Structure 1
Amino acid sequence: MSRTTDILLTALAPAVWGSTYLVTTEALPGGYPVTLAVLRALPAGLLLLMVTRCLPPRAWLGRVALLGSLNFALFWVLLFVAAYRLPGGVAATLGSFQAMMVIILARGWLGTPVRAGAVAAAAIAVLGVGLLVLGPEAALDPVGIAAGLGGAASMAAGTVLSRKWQPPVSALSFTGWQLTAGGLLLLPLALLTEPPLPPRSAANLAGLAWLGLIGAAATYALWFRGVARLESGAVSMLGMMSPVTAVTLGWIWLGQSLTPVQGLGAAIVLGAVWFGQRANRARPDAAQPAAALPQPNAT
């Protein structure tokens, strides 16, 4: 399969994740962020385990728990904290720093060289996201800022470690392991901190099905597939598709206004994503061979 196809399939994941805000606000009850995160992760993870019939070996349990925490449990909790304490534009802009963090972490954990073009693409993308989503209501809350940057760091670490630790199983199995671990880690927190959900309507069930089956199981399988096949920096740049989709859906579905400045921001983001794919592309002699990745029985 060509690299272009790998990029397009991986980009589908953050493009779909951009619908999360719309689905959450329009189809799900408010005030249950951790419970909804559990219902998004755990059923999808268990379903993938049933379909693939592949459980992680004992030697992988620690790694799976850490990856499930970074990519789902910790990331989603910090994401909700940032969303509650900051305007959406500020939270999205802080999240866009993930690409820069991936470049730094990949250098330390994978030995990936830091390319000037990749750094420039990540910086330009942050600028584009800022133009796309920041508005005059933008406010700075210290806790919200810490949560936004912490969420970006959590996802960045999860992305790089998912590249470093590649088990010889399908992307569906690897996704199921992590979703289940993330959901199990969040379950006690949901039970301790939030009241029971009210009776679910048809819209609630449809929203949960979308976020769980499509927004978690299917898209994260594509994401982790891309993590295994593409450079970490290239994958992280594709995450910039999420705010573009979110703003586009708000314009089409909710009738929100789209200013020329936002249009310019979207164009800058898309241009930075394209440039980032070229700048992050590893040369054949510098690519890391899959054989060097640890196997499940590694310590």
Structure 2
Amino acid sequence: MSKQATAAAAITVVLWASSFVAIRHVGTEFSAGALSLARLGLGSILLGALLFVRPRQEHPVRRWPAKGDWPQLLACGLLWFGVYNVALNEAERRLDAGTAAMLVHIAPLLIAVLAGLTLGEGFPRRLVGGGLVAFAGIVVIGTSASTGHAEIWGVVLCLVAAIAYAVGVVTQKPLLSRLPAAEVTWLACTVGAVSCLPYARTLIDELRTASSGGIWWVVYLAVFPTALGFTTWAFALRRTTAGAMGVTVYAVPVVAIVLGWIFLGETPTLLALAGGALCLAGVAISRRTQRVAATSRN
């Protein structure tokens, strides 16, 4: 991975980790769907402004997507931006930021599987072993949250978000070889925002009662983790493989736990931390296999 791609990936990690804390913070003022619409709607406006205000000389390959690009764009937008955001927002009404981040980040394991199957990036021999370890981690986290049905439902929602995340990344990757990263991100974000329009009435009602601080946190989510974070992600993803980029998000749960402790005064239970460690270990096992296989081929 080039230095530019590495720097872009690092920015993404920090911004996405902060989003778990911000979502947890504003979850008391905004419902899951309304928060998703506000974040994606404003993010789409910002991304569109950046895309079309930029001088044409800096973006000579900008073009409207071909007809064949739209199924992947729609899948990426609906799943990664729409389903992912609504599921995660609802999950964080039940789980702390750190636990949610650990659960969602079994996605790199799913990305490795899907990329191996659909993008020709190689299929890890020990993927089953890594998957079993990660699944054990999920069970441990679920056990730590077994004091009530709401917490278990939070675990399930995080898994839904992880699946949407993984499928979204894999459908996005081929588009980046044909379209500029900024354009793909803007269109996918716009698709996600449109899919959340049924929550418009709820958003209007909640904006009337929300505090100024809560509204500013929503703006933060739109500007930084969404507009900037997804752009830096797409920039890095275009310059490496989907599987390799999946590895970079290992750090997100760690950063999210630290930020949650600093800003929210919350940390996952020891059992949840142990489960999160198992999830990440399972992902690491699967990715290590891919790296070893790639080295042996060289």
Give me the TM-score of the superposition, normalised by structure 2: 0.75
User: 2:34–2:203: 8 Å Cα contact kept in structure 1?
Assistant: no
Q: Which residue of 1 aligns with 2:194?
A: 184
Instruction: Please tell me whether the aligned partners of residues 77 and 191 of structure 2 are also in contact (alpha carbons under 8 angstroms).
Output: yes
Following the alignment from structure 1 to structure 2, what is the Cα–Cα distance between the partners of residues 257 and 240? Answer: 18
The 5-angstrom pairing of residues 147-296 of structure 1 reads 147-191=157-201, 195-256=205-266, 280-281=290-291, 283=294
Say if 1:67 and 1:178, in contact at 8 Å, map to a contact too.
yes
In 2 relative to 1, CA 16–160 (structure 1 residues): closer, same or farther, beyond 3 Å? same
2:11 maps to 12
Whichever residue aligns with residue 45 of structure 1, its letter is S
CA–CA distance in structure 2, aligned partners of residues 42 and 74 of structure 1: 15
Match for residue 83 of structure 2 among 56, 74, 79 = 74
Aligned counterparts, 1:52-91, within 5 A: 52-53=51-52, 56-57=64-65, 59=67, 60-86=69-95, 91=100
Paired residue total? 285
Corresponding residue for residue 109 of structure 2: 100
- Kept after mapping to 2: 8 A contact 1:13/1:219: yes
- Is the contact made by 2:131 and 2:286 (CA closer than 8 Å) also made in structure 1? yes
Q: What is the DSSP-based 3-state SS (H/G/I as helix, E as strand, rest coil) of the residue aligned with 1:198? A: helix
Q: Is the 8 A contact 1:129 1:243 kept in 2?
A: no
Q: CA deviation at 1:212?
A: 0.8
CA deviation string 1:201-258 (max 9, x = no partner): 4423431222111110111011112222222222122223222111111233344469
Determine whether 1:40 maps to 2:48: no
Identity %: 23
Aligned in 2, Cα 1:218/1:189: closer, same or farther, shift over 3 Å?
Answer: same
- 5+ residue gaps, structure 2, are 53-61
| 8 Å Cα contact 2:31-2:90 kept in structure 1 | no
Which one is further off, 117-126 or 71-80? 117-126
Q: TM-score, normalised by structure 1?
A: 0.75
CA deviation string 1:68-93 (max 9, x = no partner): 01111011112233333456565444
Higher helix share: 2
Gaps of at least 5 residues in structure 1 are 288-299
